[in-house]
Amino acid sequence: MPADGHLERLKREGRIVVVGASLAGLRAAETLREEGFAGTLTMVGDEPYEPYDRPPLSKGVLLSRTTADHTALPRRRNLDADWRLGIAATGLDMAAKRVRLADGEEIEYDRLLIATGVRARPWPHEREAELDGVFVLRTRDDATALQKRLADGPRRVFVIGAGFTGSEIASACREREISVTVAERGAAPLVGALGGVVGEVAAQLQRENGVDLRTGVMVTGLEGDSAGRVRSAHLSDGSSVETDVVVVSLGATRNTEWLAGSGLGAGPRGIACDAGCRAFDIRGIVTDDIFVAGDVARSPHPLFGYQFLSLEHWGNAVSQAETAAHNMLCESVDRRPHMWVPAFWSSQFGVNIKSVGVPSMGTEILISQGSLAERRFVGVYGYQDRVIGAVTFDQARWLPFYEHLIETTAPFPPPFPTVDRRPEGARPVPADFPDPSVPTHGPTVTLSGYSPADRRMTFTPGRH
Amino acid sequence: MTQGSLLRQILEYENRHDPYPLYAELRKTPVLNDGDGAYVVSTYHEILSLLHDPRVSSDARNMTRAAGPDLQQQEEETALPPSFIRLDPPEHDRLRRMTNTSFGPPHEPRRVHEMRGELGGIVSDLIAGIGSTDRIDLVEEFSYPFPVTVICRLLGVPREDESRFHGWADTLAASLDPMPGEDATERNKIAQKARTELGMYLAGLIEERRRNPQEDMLSELATLKGPDGSMTTMELLSTAALLLIAGHETTVNLITNGMLTLLRNPDVLRRLREDPGLSVPLVEELLRFEPPVQLVPNRTTLADIEIAGVTIPKGASLWLVVAAGNRDPLRFKDPDRFDPDREDIEHLGFGSGVHSCFGAPLARQEAQIALSELARRLVNPRLLEDPPEYRRNAVLRGPRHLPIACDDIMP
Ligand SMILES: Cc1cc2nc3c(=O)[nH]c(=O)nc-3n(C[C@H](O)[C@H](O)[C@H](O)COP(=O)(O)OP(=O)(O)OC[C@H]3O[C@@H](n4cnc5c(N)ncnc54)[C@H](O)[C@@H]3O)c2cc1C
Ligand code: HEM
Residues of A contacting chain B (CB within 8 angstroms): 368-370, 374, 376, 378, 397-398, 400-401, 404, 416-420
User: Could you tell me if A237 and A290 lie in one domain?
Assistant: no
Domains, chain B, ranges and CATH?
A: 3-409 (1.10.630.10)
Tally the C-alpha atoms within 13 A of residue A328's C-alpha that lie toward its C-beta.
37
User: Could you tell me if A167 and A128 lie in one domain?
Assistant: yes
Q: Which of B49, B59, B302 sits opposite A417 (nearest CB)?
A: B302
Asked if A400's CB is within 8 angstroms of B52's CB, the reply is yes
Closest alpha carbon within chain B to A399? B52
DSSP class of residue A384 equals T
Closest alpha carbon within chain B to A371? B90
Question: Residue B202 pLDDT more than 60?
Answer: yes
pLDDT, residue A443, reads 47
Question: Which residue has the CA at smallest separation from atom 21 of ligand 2?
Answer: B357
Question: How far, in Å, is the centroid of ligand 2 from the Cα of B246?
Answer: 5
Mean pLDDT value of segment A396-421: 95
DSSP class of residue A323 equals H
* Bigger pLDDT: B64 vs A81: A81
Is A462 a domain residue?
no
pLDDT, residue A447, reads 60
**Residue B105 CB: number of other CB atoms within 10 A?**
12
Is A460 a domain residue?
no
Mean pLDDT value of segment A423-449: 73
Domain membership of residue A360 as a residue range: 343-448
> pLDDT digit string (tens) for A336-350?
999 889 999 999 999
> pLDDT digit string (tens) for A127-186?
999 999 999 999 999 999 999 999 999 999 999 999 999 999 999 999 999 999 999 999
Q: Which of B49, B89, B304 sits opposite A419 (nearest CB)?
A: B89
Q: Which of A374, A376, A418 sits opposite B54 (nearest CB)?
A: A418
Question: Residue B284 pLDDT more than 70?
Answer: yes
> pLDDT digit string (tens) for B36-87?
678 999 999 999 999 999 999 999 788 765 555 555 444 455 567 889 999 9
Is A37 a domain residue?
yes
Share of chain B above pLDDT 70, in %: 91
pLDDT, residue A200, reads 98
Q: Which atom of ligand 1 is nearest to the CA of A295?
A: 26
pLDDT, residue A163, reads 95
Q: How confident is the model at residue B297 (pLDDT cuts 50, 70, 90)?
A: confident
User: Could you tell me if A227 and A265 lie in one domain?
Assistant: no
CB of B350 closer than 6 angstroms to any ligand 2 atom: yes
The ligand whose atoms approach the alpha carbon of A23 most closely is 1
CB of B292 closer than 6 angstroms to any ligand 2 atom: yes
Q: Which of A374, A376, A401 sits opposite B54 (nearest CB)?
A: A401
Q: Which residues of B touch A418 (CB under 8 A)?
A: 54-55, 302
Asked if A416's CB is within 8 angstroms of B302's CB, the reply is yes
Asked if A369's CB is within 8 angstroms of B89's CB, the reply is yes
pTM confidence score: 0.90
Tally the C-alpha atoms within 13 A of residue B38's C-alpha that lie toward its C-beta.
22
**Which residues are CB-contacts of A213 (< 8 A; sequence separation ≥ 6)?**
A162, A181, A182, A184, A189, A203, A206, A207
Closest alpha carbon within chain A to B307? A404
Is A434 a domain residue?
yes
Q: How far apart are CA A290 and CA A95, in angstroms?
A: 12
Q: How far apart are CA A165 and CA A245, in angstroms?
A: 16
Q: How far apart are CA B67 and CA B285, in angstroms?
A: 31
To test ligand 2's pocket by mutation, which of B103, B357, B362, B393 has the most ligand atoms within 8 angstroms of CB?
Answer: B357
Q: Of A106, A93, A109, nearest to A40 (Cα)? A: A109
Question: Residue A448 pLDDT more than 70?
Answer: no
pLDDT, residue A459, reads 35
Question: How far, in Å, is the centroid of ligand 1 from the Cα of B314?
Answer: 46
CA-to-CA separations, B178 to A333, B112, B143, B185, in angstroms, rounded: 60, 33, 20, 11
Is A356 a domain residue?
yes
Question: Which residue has the CA at smallest separation from atom 4 of ligand 2?
Answer: B250
User: Which H or E run contains A211?
Assistant: none
* Bigger pLDDT: B6 vs A41: A41
User: Could you tell me if A11 and A156 lie in one domain?
Assistant: no
Alpha carbon of B15: minimum distance to chain A alpha carbons (Å):
35
pLDDT, residue B254, reads 97
pLDDT, residue A452, reads 40
Residues of B contacting chain A (CB within 8 angstroms): 49, 52-57, 59, 88-90, 93, 302-304, 353-354
DSSP class of residue B229 equals B
Domain end (from A286, A301, A334): A334
Question: Residue A73 pLDDT more than 70?
Answer: yes
User: Could you tell me if A293 and A384 lie in one domain?
Assistant: no
Question: How far, in Å, is the centroid of ligand 2 from the Cα of B290?
Answer: 15
Cβ contacts from A onto B, under 8 A: 46
Question: Which residue has the CA at smallest separation from atom 1 of ligand 1?
Answer: A58
Question: Which residue has the CA at smallest separation from atom 30 of ligand 2?
Answer: B359
Mean pLDDT value of segment A4-9: 86
Is A453 a domain residue?
no
> pLDDT digit string (tens) for B298-321?
899 999 999 999 999 999 999 999
Identify whether the C-beta of residue A322 lies closer than 8 Å to the C-beta of residue A316: no
Q: Which residues of A touch B304 (CB under 8 A)?
A: 416
| Average pLDDT value over all residues in chain B | 90
Domain end (from A185, A219, A250): A250
Say whether B392 sits in a helix, a strand or coil: coil
Q: Of B14, B9, B63, B75, nearest to B39 (Cα)? A: B63
- Our CA angle for B210, B215, B217, nearest 5°, is 70
User: Could you tell me if A178 and A294 lie in one domain?
Assistant: no
Rounded to a whole number, what is the distance in angstroms from the first to the last CA of chain A? Answer: 58
How many independent structural domains does chain A possess? Answer: 3
Lowest mean pLDDT among A301-310, A351-360, B105-114: B105-114
Please compute Rg for chain A using Cα positions: 22
- B233-264 helix and B279-289 helix, angle to the nearest 10 degrees: 100
Alpha carbon of B407: minimum distance to chain A alpha carbons (Å):
45
Q: Tell me: cis bond preceding B106? Omega within 30 of 0 counts.
A: yes
pLDDT, residue B11, reads 87
User: Which H or E run contains B204?
Assistant: helix B184-211
Mean pLDDT value of segment A288-310: 92
Mean pLDDT value of segment B284-294: 97
Q: Which of A400, A417, A420 sits opposite B89 (nearest CB)?
A: A420
| Average pLDDT value over all residues in chain A | 92
Is A383 a domain residue?
yes
Question: Residue A438 pLDDT more than 60?
Answer: no
Lowest mean pLDDT among A87-101, A310-324, B31-45, B205-219: B31-45
User: Could you tell me if A364 and A431 lie in one domain?
Assistant: yes
User: Could you tell me if A387 and A289 lie in one domain?
Assistant: no
Residues with CB under 6 A from ligand 1: A 19-20, 22-25, 44-47, 54-55, 57-58, 88-89, 115-118, 137-138, 165, 255, 258, 294-295, 312-315, 317, 344-346
Domain end (from A277, A305, A334): A334
Question: Residue B255 pLDDT more than 80?
Answer: yes
Q: How confident is the model at residue A453 (pLDDT cuts 50, 70, 90)?
A: very low
Question: How far, in Å, is the centroid of ligand 1 from the Cα of A406?
Answer: 26
Closest alpha carbon within chain B to A416? B303
Q: What share of chain A is helix, strand, coil (3-state, %, to 5)?
A: 25, 30, 40
User: Could you tell me if A362 and A330 lie in one domain?
Assistant: no
Q: Of B299, B294, B256, nearest to B394 (Cα)? A: B294
**Which residues are CB-contacts of A51 (< 8 A; sequence separation ≥ 6)?**
A21, A22, A23, A25, A26, A45, A72, A73
Asked if B52's CB is within 8 angstroms of A397's CB, the reply is yes
Q: Which of A368, A369, A419 sits opposite B57 (nearest CB)?
A: A419
Q: How confident is the model at residue B245 (pLDDT cuts 50, 70, 90)?
A: confident
CATH of the domain at A418: 3.30.390.30
Alpha helix segments (H runs only) across B132-183: 138, 145-155, 162-175
The ligand whose atoms approach the alpha carbon of B398 most closely is 2
The ligand whose atoms approach the alpha carbon of B257 most closely is 2
Question: Which residue has the CA at smallest separation from atom 3 of ligand 1?
Answer: A55
Question: Residue A20 pLDDT more than 80?
Answer: yes
Question: Residue A457 pLDDT more than 50?
Answer: no
Mean pLDDT value of segment B242-268: 94
Q: How far apart are CA A173 and CA A150, in angstroms?
A: 8
> Pairing mode, if any, of strands A106-108 and A245-248?
unpaired
pLDDT, residue A441, reads 47
Question: Residue B182 pLDDT more than 80?
Answer: no
Say whether B179 sits in a helix, a strand or coil: coil
Is A369 a domain residue?
yes
> pLDDT digit string (tens) for B113-140?
778 889 999 999 999 999 899 999 999 9
Lowest mean pLDDT among A98-107, A300-309, B116-125: A300-309
Q: How far apart are CA A222 and CA A224, in angstroms?
A: 7
> pLDDT digit string (tens) for A104-135?
999 999 999 999 999 999 999 999 999 999 99
User: Could you tell me if A132 and A193 lie in one domain?
Assistant: yes
Q: How confident is the model at residue B174 (pLDDT cuts 50, 70, 90)?
A: confident
Share of chain A above pLDDT 70, in %: 93
Mean pLDDT value of segment A262-268: 93
Exposed, middle or buried, A35 (CB in 10 Å: 0-12/13-18/19+)?
middle
User: Could you tell me if A99 and A220 lie in one domain?
Assistant: no
- Our CA angle for A97, A103, A108, nearest 5°, is 15
Lowest mean pLDDT among A107-111, A358-362, B6-10, B22-26: B6-10
User: Could you tell me if A428 and A363 lie in one domain?
Assistant: yes
Asked if A400's CB is within 8 angstroms of B55's CB, the reply is no
Q: How far apart are CA A205 and CA A189, in angstroms?
A: 10
Identify whether the C-beta of residue B233 lies closer than 8 Å to the C-beta of residue B81: no
CATH of the domain at A125: 3.50.50.60
Q: How far apart are CA B22 and CA B3, in angstroms?
A: 11
